[in-house]
Amino acid sequence: MTTCVSVGTGRDRTERPVGAARSCALIAPTIALAACSLAVASAPATRPASGAAAEAFRMLDRNGDGKITRDELPRPVLFGMMDRNRDGEVTPAEAAAVMGRLMPGATSRPAAAGPAVAMDKHLNLRYATVEGVDPNLLSLDVYAPKAARNCPVMVMIHGGGWRMGDKSNPAVGQSKAAHFVAAGCIYVSVNYRLTPAVQHPVHVQDVAKALAWVDANIARYGGDPKRIIIMGHSAGAHLAALVATDERRLKAEGRDLGIVKGVVLLDGAGYDVPRQIAAAGAVLRGMYEAAFTKDLAAQRDASPITHVAAGKGIPPFLILYVASRPDAADQSNRLADALRKAGVRAEAIPCQGKNHMTINQDIGAPGDKPTAAIMDFLRGLTVATRPAN
């Protein structure tokens, strides 16, 4: 039994379950492959290394021949990035080389796995409908403690360079849900439309729609709409920061920044998009320009730092970043400085011994310092939780 105070009444909006079996068969291994580094540079070109990412490779390699073809991975942009020699086939080594450049220092360590936690799962709830768009991209998953009543709500926004990722990935789905549910929270993992099908501002517009849905509906699942916190990793950190600073996005959904009580950012580096593009190499520059175009005005509009100002009701920020990533350190500290100058509570914390993947995957692991910082931040927001371990 979860110990929370009595349930409140939330505004209601109809939600519909979405069958995502068709897309999940492709999405899950694709995202696992892309979001984890396939640390196989020294492995034979036809044999993946062990680990979660290698398992994703094997799932995509349906005929088991040690390489992936366009038919097996019908995602032209991702396939083109990985097929470095343009021979129409992707080997584990090619995939590893590209992901190593996109996510320096990443490893294929699996997401933190704690003890089994009893919870109610409400999967593939649609928060918006757009004709011709896969419903999975406009859906979210809700994980709730058994008999939840008026619990704080943690909303997670996945990363993936604005072009890949999925709410059901273990590191943003079940694994994090186990930690936050054990701590007495409702945990929500959201999807949004992806580049190249869309560009800014569609990603953040979708996130705003998801938050409006949570605000309207989460009380039905035992959550308190007055205690919504958002968290994002990588590209998801950018979107969390943007939706919490650019008030136009929630206003378009009939809400304001006041529905967000706190923001947790995990190793983002896109808080000032033009600055990041100027310092990026060709691969990263292409990723940013694909999402935000080459137009400087659009890039500035997509930058959370552009929208930081006093008197807007911007919520407190906890900004965690990998200590060894110079661009993440620069962007994180500049955003924290801008927030503080605007009178917003903000703290940027370098995380030693982490890389771009493990700072996210390890949330919930016993003794994990970023996890402790997050829970301290929640307690500082008077978002009451109980120890998860």
* The two three-digit tokens of residue 176, written as one number: 């994090």
Longest dimension (CA), the chain: 61
CA distance 89 to 70: 7
Tell me which of 234, 303, 324, 332 is the catalytic residue.
234
* The two three-digit tokens of residue 135, written as one number: 């419903």
The yes-or-no answer on residue 303 being catalytic is no
* The two three-digit tokens of residue 32, written as one number: 């696992």
Strands 119-126 and 139-145, by their bridges, are antiparallel
* The two three-digit tokens of residue 345, written as one number: 């509570």
> Which residue in this structure is represented by tokens 């105070």?
5
Distances (CA, A) of 183 to 104, 180, 226, 365: 32, 5, 18, 13
CA distance 286 to 298: 15
Cis peptide before 196 (omega within 30 of 0): yes
**Residues present in the chain in total:** 389
The CA angle 163-167-172, to the nearest 5 degrees, is 105
The end-to-end CA distance of the chain, in Å, is 16
> Which residue in this structure is represented by tokens 């109809």?
14
> Which residue in this structure is represented by tokens 């997670």?
156
CA distance 177 to 193: 22
> Which residue in this structure is represented by tokens 């992901």?
99
Tell me, what amino acid is at 101?
Answer: R
Catalytic residues: 234
